[in-house]
Structures are given as C-alpha cells and as structure tokens.
Amino acid sequence: MTNAINGELARTRAVPQGHPARTGPGSVGRVPGARDVLEAHEGGPAAPNTPLPPREPTERTIHHEDPPEPEPSRSAAMTATAATADGEWAPAATQSKQAPPGRRPVRGGLLAALTAAVFTSRQRQAWTSTAVKIHEQVVQHYRAQIARRPEDGDPAAPGTEPTAGALAGSLIVFAELCDAGGRAGEAVLATEEAVTIYRRLAAAHPNAHGKDLATALTSLAARYDAGARLGDAILATEEAVTIYRRLASTQPDAHHTDLAAALHHLGTRRARENRHAAALAAAEEAATLRHQLAEADPDLHLPDLAGSLHLLALRYDEAGHGDKALTAVRKATTTYRRLVEQQPRAFRPDLAACLMELFHRLGSGDQRGEALAAVDEAIGTLRAVIADDPSDEHRSELAACLLLLGARLEEDGRCDQALTATEEATTHYRQLTQNDPDNHRPDLAASLLLLAARLDAAGNADEALAATEEATTHYRQLTQVDPEQHRPDLAASLYVYAVRLSEHGRQAGLGVLEETVGHYQHLASTGHRHRRPLASALTLLAIWWGALGRHDEAISAADNAEAIYRQLARVDPEGQLAELAAHLYARACRMNQGVGAEALTYLQESVSLYRQLAHTQPAKHTGDFAACLGALADCHDSLDRRQDALASAEESVAAYRRLAAADPGAYTAPLAAALHGLGWRLGLRAGLPALREAVGIHRTLADRDPEFLPSLATTLRSLAVCLDELGQADDAARARAEANAVCERLGRV
C-alpha cells in the first residue's frame, strides 16, 4: 500500500498535515533554528507562526556587509569644531587620522575626538545624550552663522561654502548620535537637511562636493530603510550610485569602492521590492567591481568581494539561475576560507554561514557527498568560533547545523549518526533555554520532537515518549504566554504525544487526543489553514472511539473529518483531492473490514478520484489507484458482483505492471499479490498463467529476502489447488511439495 493511503490508514504514526513539525532546509541567510529544520525533515508546510528563513541568504548573515556608518565628509573633516577661548565655536582645520582597528576614525578637533570616544565606548553610553546636546549646539551655531549672511542663508552663495559644508557635516554627526540615542526621527530630519545643503553645494561645486552628497545620500537611504521607507531608500541609493558612477568615470581608483558599496545596497533593496532583474544587474556590477578591487588590494577588498559573491547567489536564485547561484556560493566559500586563514576570529562566522548556504544548494545525487562535507566543515568552523566566543548566538547556530546534518544523514540511511547529531543539538538547545528561555524554548521543543522521531525509529520507544512529553510541556508553557503564536505547535505536539501514548497501551492518550481536537477546532474557527490537521486529528479520534465501542461518536467524528476534506477539495482540488481520496479509502476499510454496500460506495468514489489523480500525476498517484482498485475488487466479491470484481482486479494488475516496470524494487511485490488475486477470479484455466507468474515473482523475492517466504508458500498452495482441479496431479504435487519445503524453511528462519 503506498504512502498517501498509509498516511490516512496509519495516522497513529504521523504528524498531522499542517503541523509545525512538517519542516524545510531552511534558510540560508541565518542558520535556521530547530523549528526550521524540523519543518524540512517532515517535508510539509511551515508552522503558521514560526518565522522561517527563506532558502536564500539574507544580507545580515554577512557581518562586514551591515549598512556602513556614513563617514563624515571632507568638508566636515576640515571644519570639525573646537572651542575658542571666548567660548565661540570655530572651524578647526585638522586632517583625519588613521583610527585603530575597530575604531571609527577621529575626524579632527577635540570635541569630535571626545564625541567619538563617548559614542564608541559601551561603558559610557550614558554620555550619548550629552553628546547629542553638544552637537545640537554646534548645528545651531552654524545655522546662526549662515543666517547672519546678507544672502539670506543660501549655502551656495559666494563665501558661504566652508560654513555650509561645516553645517552639513555637523548635521551628519548629529544624526549619528541621534541614532545611537534612539531618536531615529530626528536623525532622518538632520540627514535630509544635510542632503539638501550638499545638493546645493554640489550643484555649484560638483567636483568638490559630489562625494559629500553621495555619502550623505547613502546615510539617508540607510535611515529610510530602517524606518520602513523602502521606496525612498531606493531613490536615495540610486541617486548616490549615479553620483559615484560619474566620479568613478574620472577617478576610478578613488571612487570604485564607494560605487561598489552603493550598488551592493541598491541590489538588495531592489530585490526587496521584487525588482529582481534590476537587483541582479546591480549585484553583478558590484561583484565585478569588487573583484577588480580585490585583485589590486586583496587585504583591503577581499571581505567585500566575499560578501558580494554570497549575496549575488541570492540574486541569481531569484532570477532562476540555479547553476550560477551555486557557482557564486562556491566562490564566496573559497574566498572566506582565505580570509579565515588570515583572520580566523573575524571571518569564521561568515564562512560557516556560507558553508550552510552551499550545503542547501548542493541538493542530492552526485552532490550529496560535497553537501555533507560542507555541513561538516560548517560544524567544525562553528565549534572553533564557540571556543573563542561561547555566546548563545553561535551555540544556537551550531545546534541548528547539527539538526541539518542529522536530516541529511537520515536521508542517507545513516540513522545512528543522525540520532547522535540530534541528541547533541538538543543538549545545546537545553542549555540555551536555561540561559534565555524566552528566545530558545521554541527551538528546544521542536528539537525534542525531532529527537523523539529518531529515537522511535531506532527502537527506543520509551525515550521517544519521554522526549515527546517534554516537548509538549514546553509548548504548554509557551502557549500560556502567547496562545496565538504557539497554540498550533501545542496542538501538533499533543497529537504526536497521543500517538505515542497509544503505542504504549496507555488510555491517557485518548484524553490527549481529545485535547488536540479541541485546540484544532479553536484554530480552525479563526483560520482555514488549520482545517487539514483538524481533519487528521478527527480521523484518528474516530478510529480510537470505534475501537472502544463508542460507535456513534466515532461515526460523528469521521463525518466531521469527511466534511472538512470535502470543503478543502472544493477550494483546492489540485492540492486536496488526494487527501479526500485517501480518507474515503481508509473509511471504507474500517467499515466491516472493507466489505458491504456502504464500504462499496466509499471505495467507488475513492477509485474515481484516484483515477483522475493518476491521469494528471501518474508518478505520484498510480500506486494509490492500484491499491484502491484491489480493495474495490474484494468489496465487489463480498457482494457477489463477480464481473465487477474481475474488472477491478485486471485494472489493478495493469497499473502495478506499469509501476513495476519503472520501479521494480517498490512495486514487484504488490504486482505479485495482485496477480494472485486475479488468478483466483479468472477461474481455473484462465487464471493459471497469473498464478504461475505470481509464484515466479515470489520465488525471486524470497531468494533475496526471507520476509517473502510466507507469500511464496501461500501462492504455491493456490497454484497446487488450481493444478489439481485441472487434472495436472504431478505438477500440483510438485507445487505442494515446494510449499511444504518453504514452510519447513520458515520454521528454521
């Protein structure tokens, strides 16, 4: 019986559809959390309220590619303020000095130096408001100085250029300090005023102030972006790119770095506006420029090149160029490896993120080995990062990588290693939850559910139950704090918990399942997305109630589940018809073991739906169609409808022949079983070839796997009866002797 039908008949082994634990390899921008990996492992839709990263990298992954702090302009540097003896503010023509690594350059003047020291030291954050007040006085001083000019304050008027430049520069510094103090609105207004001044200065003196304007526009774009004004941010970035392009046309060595940075940010912002072709063009140009810059000065520009290559992969992916995206990620990974050799502590986190991106893009087939090597290297890299900086952030990334490794190992059949990786990941999440329960409890709960699934697959049913119970406890706590976000997770965990309790023969599972249905009913009343898991839970509840003799309640639950599946199929036939067909098939099989008139009605509708599905998606649904036809043939037999039974059996055999030709390993055994049934229905002489063929297939299967010995013995006895009836006593005796020998062998196996 194939997966879709098993999914309905054996829901006691499955997570309900739509549950948050049906999860994708997640993201590649940040390393995904446990919930993301669990979603990828189960292969279904994401949790309704679980933030899933896109498969692609986000800009935030690349540490050195955060929006750059806008440097004060040359005018600001030349006019940094200093106090005179009489208390007036006067320009101090002090040149910039090279700052120590990790420190913002001091751009001249005692006040600027003091402000930089106050601003960059975490121990002196309380002084930020004082620095803002001081710079506000500086801004007011230059405004007053310009206002006293007879030209009515025009910054571009003759003789006002130094003062206007000083005002614009002080506004930029003031805006930075406002940002640091949480005064984002004032920072935007100050930057807009600086841009207005620089635009007038650049109109009058383009060579002197073009870069000042472009730098201010870059700063303004970053602040617009932070304030959710993406359209304005793009316009400001595009204007900055135009200016930098003009400057680079005459002085490429001086301006290509700024042009590449502006193009890089323009690409990311255009992509967020879904202008993917324009975003790709900007990203490609940025990467090309940075490649040229890195060839000339690798020590300075290699980090920027790595960042651009990493994000260029995303742009290629959005444009549908998967091969180019993979090539870009490979180049970025190689570049980060070079950087790690030079500065391991600075670039290991970036290398780990890039390796995870590579892992996700490599896919399956011949690339599986390279994918495993990538995730192994990412884990080793993160272990080294944690040795230097055992922060929760890095430990969380390591835990998520371990879950991804476990998922890939499980796909490769290396289940013991997958379990080990999942156990280590859960240990990390447990420690993270102790340190910060608000942020990490959801990941711990999801990791426990995944651990439970792998423990169960390894035969550790008691440990699987304990892990599921612990996950459910965490989801209860989360739901108490935020029921809207975590009720879907709790309902899904309760479903799995009920299944495991039932497997242990504990009647408490019924109460847990009833609670599950209650949660899903509440969720379904607020949104359509929860109807499908509600139908799954109701189906399991109907099975449980039926087994306890509560037939009226069982029928009511099954009717409610069927009504939901029919509603879903009407709204989304392409996605939900298979669920309805599987439900109808399973319900028929529960009715007096699939016989009788009522079961016949359900089976006929199920076959009709599967015939439609097998026509449109043969690879996916032909197996279900063939299995359902076999059940329909049995049901027809029970009602003495011999011709209908024969027709269904023949169609089932024909379907299994097609499947076995394409996938012998999966469908040869079902074909043999269908031939056995067809042989009996055809009658003695007509059925003999089908029985002989069934015996031949079962011999081959039993030679490879003793599991098929009982089927071989049964088919041989059927063949012997048929041969006896046809008067072929010798052949019948040989078939019976072989059947007896198989039975003796079974006694020894």
pLDDT tens digits, one per residue of 557-595: 999 999 999 999 999 998 899 999 999 998 988 887 767
Q: Does residue 318 sit within a domain?
A: yes
| Final residue before a domain boundary, out of 327, 342, 357 | 342
Q: How far apart are the first and last CA of the chain?
A: 26
Residues 100 and 105: their CA atoms lie apart, in Å, by 8
The DSSP code for 23 is B
271 & 215 share domain: no
| Model confidence band, residue 631 (pLDDT cutoffs 50, 70, 90) | very high
Query: Which DSSP string corresponds to 140-176?
Result: HHHHHHHHTSTTTT-TTSTT-HHHHHHHHHHHHHHHH
pLDDT at 269: 92
Name the burial class of residue 85, with classes exposed (0-12), middle (13-18) and buried (19+) by CB atoms within 10 angstroms of its CB: exposed
List the domain range (segments joined by +) for residue 700. Answer: 663-749
Residue 244 has pLDDT above 80, yes or no: yes
Confidence band (pLDDT; 50, 70, 90) for 271? confident
Q: What is the CATH number of the domain that holds 297?
A: 1.25.40.10
Looking at the structure, tell me whether residues 209 and 119 fall in a common domain.
Answer: yes
* 391 pLDDT higher than 70: yes
Q: Inform me whether the pLDDT recorded for 9 exceeds 60.
A: no
Q: What is the CATH number of the domain that holds 745?
A: 1.25.40
Question: Tokens 């080793």 correspond to what residue?
Answer: 380
> Distance between CA atoms of 315 and 210, rounded to whole angstroms?
30
pLDDT on residue 72: 32
Name the DSSP class of 17.
Answer: T
In this structure, the answer to whether residues 220 and 81 fall within a common structural domain is yes
Residue 34 lies in a domain: no
Q: Which of 287, 320, 342 is the last residue of a domain?
A: 342
One domain for residues 720 and 676: yes
Residue 467 lies inside a defined structural domain of this protein: no
Q: With 80 as the cut, is the pLDDT of residue 479 above it?
A: yes
Token couple for 526: 């607020």
Q: What mean pLDDT comes out for the span 351-361?
A: 89
- The verdict on 176 and 80 lying in the same domain is yes
Residue listed under structure tokens 């990493």: 310
Position 104, amino acid: R
DSSP letter assigned to residue 182: T
> pTM for the whole thing?
0.70
Q: Which of 244, 271, 209, 233 is nearest to 74 (CA)?
A: 209
Residues 6+ apart with CB under 8 A from 87: none
What is the average pLDDT across 315-320?
88
DSSP SS3 for 595 = coil
pLDDT for the residue 697: 95
Question: What's the pLDDT score for residue 559?
Answer: 93
The residues near 319 (Cβ < 8 Å, ≥ 6 apart) are 276, 277, 280
Whether 224 and 265 share a structural domain: no
191 and 80 both lie in a single domain = yes
Any domain includes 578: no
What would the mean pLDDT of 481-500 be, rounded to a whole number? 94
Question: Does residue 91 surpass a pLDDT of 50?
Answer: no
Among 346, 260, 246, 239, residue whose Cα is nearest residue 311: 260
322 vs 608, higher pLDDT: 608
**216 and 335, same domain (yes or no):** no
Classify residue 740: in a domain, yes or no. Answer: yes
Whether residues 192 and 314 share a domain: the answer is no
Alpha helices (H) in 528-638, listed in sequence order: 531-547, 551-571, 573-590, 597-616, 618-638
- Are residues 318 and 224 both part of a single domain? no
Picking from 678, 692, 681, the residue whose alpha carbon sits closest to that of residue 723 is 692
How many separate domains does the chain show? Answer: 3
Q: How far apart are CA 292 and CA 283, in angstroms?
A: 14
Give the model's pLDDT for residue 425. Answer: 94
365 and 411 in contact (C-beta within 8 Å)?
A: no
Do both 124 and 213 map to the same domain?
yes
Q: Is the Cβ–Cβ distance between 452 and 464 less than 8 Å?
A: yes
By mean pLDDT, which of 49-53, 126-130, 347-351, 399-403 is the weakest?
A: 49-53
Instruction: Give me the mean pLDDT over the 469-496 stretch.
Output: 95
Beta partners for residue 80, in sequence order: 92
pLDDT per residue as tens digits for the range 99-143: 333 323 323 333 444 444 444 444 445 556 676 777 777 777 777
- State the angle between helix axes of 531-547 and 483-503 in degrees (0 to 180), rounded to the nearest 10: 30
| Residue 715 falls inside a structural domain | yes
Residues above pLDDT 90, as percent of the chain: 47
Work out the average pLDDT over 287-309: 90
Angstrom CA distances, 171 to 97, 133, 190, 199, 263, stand at 21, 12, 5, 14, 25
Does residue 176 lie in a domain region?
yes
Q: Does residue 730 sit within a domain?
A: yes
Looking at the structure, do residues 311 and 173 belong to the same domain, yes or no? no
Name the domain boundary from 323, 342, 361: 342
Q: Where is pLDDT greater, at 198 or 81? A: 198
| Maximum distance among all Cα pairs of the chain, rounded to whole angstroms | 129
The pLDDT, as a whole number, for residue 184 is: 87
CA-based angle 44:48:51, to the nearest 5? 95
Report which of 396, 402, 400, 401 is spatially closest to residue 417, judged by C-alpha positions: 402
